[in-house]
Amino acid sequence: MRIFVFKSESRPTLCAFAGDMVGSRLPEKFGPWRNINTVPRGGALPHDVFRPPVEKAIMLEGFQLFRIKASEPAS
């Protein structure tokens, strides 16, 4: 599965993984969302996030949210 990485424009430390390039299932209340990266099938996710639970969340909910430290770059 190809995974798309998004960053919330309204909450600087909030990011998300999604299954489509426009993030159609991301929660609107944290938007707008900006696509910042694409991870190819089998590729390592940023921030050393373990891939299998993220893939499961995307299949069930369409996305997986995660937070980064304020001093950490999003991509």
Supply the mean pLDDT for the chain: 94
pLDDT in tens, 25-40: 999 999 999 999 999 9
- What is the arithmetic mean of pLDDT over 5-9? 98
Domain that includes residue 54, residue range: 3-67
pLDDT, residue 70, reads: 73
Q: Are strands 3-8 and 63-67 parallel, antiparallel or unpaired?
A: unpaired
Residue 27: which of 52, 62, 68 has the closest Cα? Answer: 62
pTM (predicted TM-score) = 0.90
Question: In the prediction, which pLDDT does 37 show?
Answer: 97
How many domains in the chain?
A: 1
Q: Provide φ and ψ at 59, rounded to 5°.
A: -65, -35
pLDDT band of residue 69 (cuts 50, 70, 90) is confident
By CB neighbour count within 10 A (0-12 exposed, 13-18 middle, 19+ buried), where does 3 fall?
A: buried
Whether 73 is in a domain gets the answer no
Domain-embedded: residue 72: no
Q: What is the CATH number of the domain that holds 50?
A: 3.10.510
